[in-house]
Structure 1
């Protein structure tokens, strides 16, 4: 088979923690992985946001993005994303300004709208779900980033420091047509969460491209599709590596989250028929397998969605297996240098 057509490749790191690792070890592995994907010519490295999850170490995306920026020299670093309902737009603007001052021209701010599902987490974050208006929050964030609140606005004299230089590299994250439409109408780049919302991918990205309106930020649409991708020597090995995530999520539906099991522990789990059906449903939309299978799946996904960039998500906890997967993915796209993608 021929190689896939070159396009920008990036990483979204969820930073899963298994029974044989610690958050500290996972953070160190994140920095090592970021350096490695930079060597391979990847475009950007984003950190997710999760709270109250002992099996996920990505609770502070801006702090971790700062560490990734310090460990690399060319890679764009950012958040995938900052869930805006959890944060004051002013604080987000100042954090982003700080990152941009540290790493000029290398920082992306990916913003999502998902509030906490856990009432306890919402209380701890001081989130009032009834008072949320994402569009208003987003407009306020943009006002701080651009320092251009209109005359008479109550925040006109409040400035985020350090200030940004140039245009903000602001991304709308989404899992449905709502986020796609918001990004399109504002003329901003859009990143779609195919890894947990595959049923909406085609509709969301088609809506984004169809309804895009050129802006001072972007003259033509630019989209990322974030997909769970695992490249292994065989289809069986890829499945073996991904089953622990399925088991960890299944257990969290009926009890408190626990660190991911090892692949051996997940394979030895006494799966009931109902659990096995749920596991298979969870694994079905993932792009996983040997090189030939992944090549075919990616070619189909990229053709159907028209995404301009592929961002890979992995719930594989073993750093060596992740590195092999990233290397395999890079090889699927040929030996030609990859374009570096969008840099707003």
Structure 2
């Protein structure tokens, strides 16, 4: 059976509010939990009018408390924005509260523009070079008490220190994180929904170079991709027009709230706009349930993905829930009410 999961950016529609979008994420997570989805990850983005998800660790706690079955995690925490000790302690707290249900997905990018990134890191030791690897190594040293005795951090413990960090996944849109994840024996999630790098190449590199670790004995590769499912292909195309306009605007540096299909379909696209839409549609699965299942199944086979993580950035919350509902039906996910319940404790 194909493992299906969800990546949620808490999309903000035109005329809506970011606060409502966060509540919509909790509502969608409850729905996805009942449908049989495996994971529910929250993104980290900043200073974007169309994305309300800026604090995934806070949302993970809220969503884990509102659900019963899914693993809840970050897709991801953008490590350049945070002190490694802060990340370690927040995710240890989450793991303590929801044992066995938390994932720690880590990303290299800041999830925002350069100026906002500086504001996020203003009281840190900000450098112009990429310090992701150093921060990641510090996170692992803190977790494993790996600093030598003469190091200033040798007695620093990420609390609660009797709780291990949840499973670590490295996020990537190129081959860098794929190779790093393989080297340290971590999970890997590839962002096919916006990457220009070939997903098959990144996933192959990860599998070919994977070294088992104490945390993960064999590779686990997640393919992140975008999809829009509706009862008919025509309705799916109408809903996906929101994504088309959003992509065109992003290419021009405009990050406005998501417009309705009516506004998107009436937009006066230039030839270069339509070229960009066609290029982006190659990474987007749109159609009725059978069409999208066929497309995602093919992608999973080509990339040898262990799991497919779907993001659906459309205007209407009800249509987004319906899209995930139809996708779950297409892949014959087992609803939570049909799952065997754990035996009662004595």
Same fold (TM over 0.5): yes
- Of 231, 234, 239, the match for 1:233: 231
Paired with 2:273 and 2:134, the residues of 1 have a C-alpha distance of 42
State TM-score, norm by structure 2.
0.91
Q: Give yes or no for the alignment of 1:217 onto 2:249.
A: no
Q: Structure 1 unaligned runs (5+)? A: 1-5
Q: Offset of 1:149 from its aligned partner?
A: 2.7
Q: Which residue of 1 aligns with 2:105?
A: 110
* 1:116-141 deviation digits (Å, cap 9, x = unpaired): 55221122112634243222111111
Q: CA deviation at 1:284?
A: 2.4
User: What is the Cα deviation at residue 199 of structure 1?
Assistant: 3.9
Query: Shift of residue 218 of structure 1?
Result: 1.0
Does the CA-based 8 Å contact 1:233-1:291 persist in structure 2? yes
Residues 184, 213 of structure 1: 8 Å contact kept:
yes
> How many residues in Structure 1 have an aligned counterpart in Structure 2?
334
Using a 3 Å threshold, how does the CA distance of structure 1 residues 80 and 207 change in structure 2: closer, same or farther?
A: same
Which residue in 2 is equivalent to 1:65? Answer: 60
For residues 120 and 68 of structure 1, the distance between their equivalents in structure 2, rounded to whole angstroms, comes to 30
1:99 deviation in Å? 1.1
C-alpha separation between the residues in 2 aligned to 1:60 and 1:335? 29
- Kindly report which structure 2 residues correspond to 1:112-261, keeping only aligned pairs within 5 A, or say none: 112-115=107-110, 118-126=113-121, 128-163=126-161, 165-166=163-164, 168-197=166-195, 199-261=197-259
Q: Kindly provide the CA deviation profile for residues 11-39 of structure 1, in whole angstroms up to 9, marking residues without a partner as x.
A: 11011111132111111111111111111
Q: CA separation of 1:53/1:62 partners in 2, compared to 1, >3 Å: closer, same or farther? A: same
2:79 alignment partner in structure 1: 84
Alpha-carbon distance between aligned partners in 1 of 2:296 and 2:111, rounded to the nearest angstrom: 31
- Partners of 2:120 and 2:81 lie apart in 1 by 6
- 8 Å Cα contact 2:36/2:334 also seen in 1: no
Give the corresponding residue for 1:3: none
TM value normalised by structure 1: 0.91
Report matched runs for 1:9-88 at 5 Å: 9-88=4-83
Distance 1:337-1:245 versus aligned 2 partners, 3 A rule: closer
Q: Which runs of 5+ in 2 are unaligned?
A: 340-346
2:265 is aligned, of 261, 264, 267, to 267
Taking the aligned partners of 1:308 and 1:181, their CA distance within structure 2 comes to 17
- Alpha-carbon RMSD: 1.9
Matched, 1:98 2:93: yes
- Could you tell me how far apart the structure 2 residues matched to 1:110 and 1:164 are? 21
Return the offset for 1:255. 4.8
Is 1:174–1:193's contact at 8 Å kept on the other side of the alignment?
Answer: yes
CA gap 1:51/1:124 in 2 versus in 1, 3 angstroms: same
Contact 1:228 1:286 in 2 (8 A): yes
Query: Which moves more between the two structures, 228-237 or 216-225?
Result: 228-237
**1:29-88 deviation digits (Å, cap 9, x = unpaired):** 111111111111111111001111011101111111111111112221110001111111
